[in-house]
Amino acid sequence: MTVSIRTKSAAVSFSVLVLLLCFFCPEPAHAIPALARKYGLPCSACHEAWPKLNNFGITFRDNGYQLGNERDSPIYQNNSYFPITFRMTPNWHLEKTNRVAVDTVPGDATSALIEQGTTSHGFDLSGLDILTIGTLYRNISFALVPSADETGAFHFESVWVRVDNILGSRWANVKFGKHELDVPEPLSEKRSLSLSGASGGYNLYHFDPIGGTDEFGLGDNQIGVELTGHSRNSYTRYAVDVLSSNSGNVDFLDNNGLPAANTYDVYLHFSQGVLIPKLGLQRFGVLMYDGRRATYSLTSGGVPIPGTGQGTAPFYRVGAYASIYLGKLNYAGLFYRGDDDKYLATATPKNLGPAGLPAGARNAIWNGAINEFDWTQNPQFVIFGRYELIRMSQQALPDGAVNVLGITSTPQLGDTDGFAIGYRWYPIMFSRAGLAWHNEYSRARIRNASPLSGQDLINQSVFVGLDFDF
């Protein structure tokens, strides 16, 4: 099928490819030999199969990366100890997309666009994490994590200081800076077992309706202040965050590189663990994110001015989850609902008022679920599998309307099914370094999202790599 409106199609193709590229990049994840070195414990003490944490690791982290043995302050470490860990994953991967808009004549931008599948494969590199995490002093913990993508372009993934056990109470800990939200532990994107492009990350966390401008992702680190508390064994946990409405970006910009608004978001999380004899620790929790994003900004000479995001519109995410252990098998399930205001969902600047909205515009609402199964045979071998689904329960536009990307609205537009399966084998289990032989296949189908024909977009990935840190 060919189209005559090349600009819109190119924009569609570019947008979709940008989205795909985001999925192509294996997510760096966190396992920290520096902490194992500090205390002389093997990685398996804190990690069920690294980077996934077990309850001892969760408690250790909740306590400000302290064991409470009166030797947590860095003054007790040898001067040569430095709390730094590097992690990277050289890999071979294959990415296949079934529908990409390509020029009929390669290299000729004036030739018509057609849809065809593409496959790319080869040896590659992941991003790099430089994890410096530990204690500045007793009951003052920190993290500084510069991260690079696979090209070596750096950003700060995490930078925070946390005052732990305020007034001697484990129910009062305050974190300040850029940090991961307190998400369900088996479903943390920073400690996920999967690394591939198509569905290695959690599609549900980053889902935004097609044609909208809300760039929030639950898996993205945010900047703000967090108050957390936990019981002694971390069976009961809570977190309250107040965050800038910038999706964790600096310089008063959001994830789209546009000016962020001077508003603040709120995140709440509560979970409760229940130990069932012979089965293991079961955990249940709820979470809620209430945020606002700008729909336009002030400009100077047509250039957006950072930090002057205007016309904020609300969005929210709510979820409930369970992490169930049946011996070596862990099932983690999350039900998640999202709601984006109609101005966000239709990319309409709010200063245009209701008249600026497309006809029939409404809030975009969706429901989704993550179902993840991990089988940890022992700390050195884990099999994982995940199925995600996202279903739009209300599209931003009526059926047949065309959004800003030139895509026709259908009831299923954007519905996603994600699937990932793989295993990790750790030849060494050590307190100085980690190594995992990682194999994974994943697939994601996005309904009616192909750039030209409006058919289903299907991405598939095969990822084989040596994931190491030291």
Partner 1 sequence: MRSEYRFLSLASAMILLVSAPMTLLGLPGNPPDGGQASSANSKPTAGGTEHQGVMSDYYVPNSTHPAWKGAGLPITQSSSKVGNLVGNAVRGREHYRRFCIGCHGPLGNGEGENAQWIDPKPRDFTEGTFRCRSTPTGELPTDQDLFNTLERGFVTTNMPSWFAISDQDKVDLIAYIKIFSAKWKNTQRAAPIAIPPETPITADSIKRGHDNFEKMQCFKCHGQEGHGDGTSASTLTNSKDQPIRPYDFTTGERFKCGSTNTDIYRDFMTGLDGSPMPSFADQLKPDEAWDLVHYLRTLMVHVNSPERRVMIENHLQFTDDSGQE
Taking the mean position of all CA atoms in its chain, how far away is CA 96?
A: 22
Among 73, 132, 233, 412, binds partner 1 (CB under 8 A): 233
Q: Which stretch binds partner 1 (CB under 8 A): 4-12, 21-29, 308-316, 378-386?
A: 378-386
Only one residue has tokens 């700060």, namely: 156
**How many CB atoms are located within 10 Å of the residue 77 CB?**
17
- Residues between 97 and 136 with contacts to partner 1, criterion CB under 8 A: 98, 117, 119
Is 272 one of the binding residues for partner 1 (CB under 8 A)? no
Of residues 419, 409, 407, 365, the one with CA closest to residue 99: 407
326 binds partner 1 (CB under 8 A): no
- Considering beta carbons, is residue 147 or 234 the nearer one to partner 1? 234
Contact between 39 and partner 1 per CB under 8 A: yes
Tally of CB atoms within 10 A around 344: 29
- Whole-number minimum distance, CB 235 to partner 1, in Å? 9
For partner 1, the binding residues in 78-97 under the rule CB under 8 A are 94, 96
d(CA 29, CA 436): 13
461: enclosing H helix or E strand? strand 457-469
Q: Any residues with CB less than 8 A from the CB of 57 and at least 6 apart, and which?
A: 45, 46, 47, 48
Residue nearer to partner 1 on the CB measure, 46 or 287? 46
Q: Is 320 in the site for partner 1 (CB under 8 A)?
A: no
- Shortest Å distance, C-beta 332 to partner 1: 19
- Give me the amino acid identity at 459: N
C-alpha to C-alpha distance for 400 and 396, rounded to whole angstroms: 12
Cis preceding-peptide flag for 83 (omega within 30 of 0): no
List the structure tokens of 258: 């546009």
Residue 234 interacts with partner 1 (CB under 8 A)? yes
Q: How far is the CB of 392 from partner 1 (least distance, A)?
A: 24
Task: Measure the CA–CA gap between 449 and 279, rounded to whole angstroms.
Answer: 42
| Single residue of 263, 431, 453, 455 touching partner 1 by CB under 8 A | 431
* 284 within 8 A of 322, measured Cβ to Cβ: yes
Report if residue 422 touches partner 1, rule: CB under 8 A.
yes
Site for partner 1 in 49-78 (CB under 8 A): 55-56, 58-60, 67-71
Please report how close the Cβ of residue 131 comes to partner 1 at its closest, in angstroms: 20
Q: Is 248 left (phi over 0), alpha (psi -120 to 50) or beta?
A: left
Of 63 and 158, which has the nearer Cβ to partner 1?
63
Of positions 21, 75, 275, 298, contacts partner 1 by CB under 8 A = 275
Positions that interact with partner 1 (CB under 8 A): 39-42, 44-45, 55-56, 58-60, 67-71, 94, 96, 98, 117, 119, 232-234, 275, 277-278, 280-281, 377-381, 422-423, 425-431, 437, 439-441, 458, 460, 462, 464
